Amino acid sequence: MVWLGVGTLFLIAAMLGIRPYATSARDCDAPGNWKRQVEACTQVIAADNPKSALAYNNRCQAYNQMDEPAKALPDCNAAIKLAPRNASAYNNRGWAYEIRKEFDLALADYDKAIEIDPKFALAYANRGDVYAKKGDRARAVTEYRQALAIEPGNDVALNGLKKLGVRP
């Protein structure tokens, strides 16, 4: 009988194109390559923990990044059902609604995210984006400035103000 170390097993798995679970879990929580994140989170949900709010939330975010809100919404809903105090899940679901131009639903979710975490700068900035899209410039500016008060370098807020021709 031959005993192989864990490192050797990972090397063999990589050579065969098999992605070990540890890599999947890491990729599920590593944004950037959105398709890989979807695949990794799907593996985590299927193989390890169908009750992983984090995996559902991260897959929701990845689908939003890929402009696929119809795929994002069920994952956002699952994340919220599993972790109803997860502000990020409400923010991501709001983003899915925003992509679909369902602005009132988006605002309700951004409001809930801020209720849960009043220091969640991205939720304020996203709310600013919705107000800008609805033509409410004054409310948009207020939301963007609130986001910047919490997180001075928030790109969403800075870009939103720039689009409106307003200086931070």
Whichever domain contains 99, its CATH number is 1.25.40.10
Same domain, 58 and 124: no
pLDDT in tens, 47-81: 766 678 999 999 999 999 999 999 999 999 999 99
Same domain as 33, residue 113: yes
Instruction: Give me the domain span that covers residue 68.
Output: 22-117
Say if residues 59 and 90 touch (Cβ distance below 8 Å). no
109 with 141, same domain: the answer is: no
Q: Tokens standing for 92?
A: 């991501």
Whether residue 89 lies inside any domain: the answer is yes
The reply to whether 72 and 97 lie within a common domain is: yes
- 80 & 139 share domain: no
Give the distance between the most distant pair of CA atoms in the chain: 73
Residue 15 in domain: no
Residues 31 and 72 in one domain: yes
Measured CA distances, 115 to 51, 56, 109, 146, 167 (Å): 24, 21, 10, 14, 27
CA distances (Å), origin 116, targets 84, 87, 92, 152: 9, 6, 14, 21
| Pair (143, 110) in one structural domain | no
pLDDT at 15: 46
Residue 97 lies in a domain: yes
Residues 84 and 130 in one domain: no
Within a domain: residue 14? no
Rounded distance between C-alpha atoms, residue 16 and residue 131, angstroms: 50
Q: What is the pLDDT of residue 27?
A: 82
Q: State pTM to two decimals.
A: 0.83
In a domain, 124, yes or no: yes
Q: What percent of the chain has pLDDT over 90?
A: 73
One domain, residues 82 and 36: yes
Q: Does 66 lie in the same domain as 132?
A: no
Distance (Å) of CA 90 to CA 32, 38, 158: 21, 19, 22
Residues 46 and 102 in one domain: yes
- Shared domain for 30 and 96, answered yes or no, is yes
pLDDT of 134 over the 90 cut: yes
Domain count, the chain: 2
Q: CA–CA separation, 100 vs 19, rounded Å?
A: 34
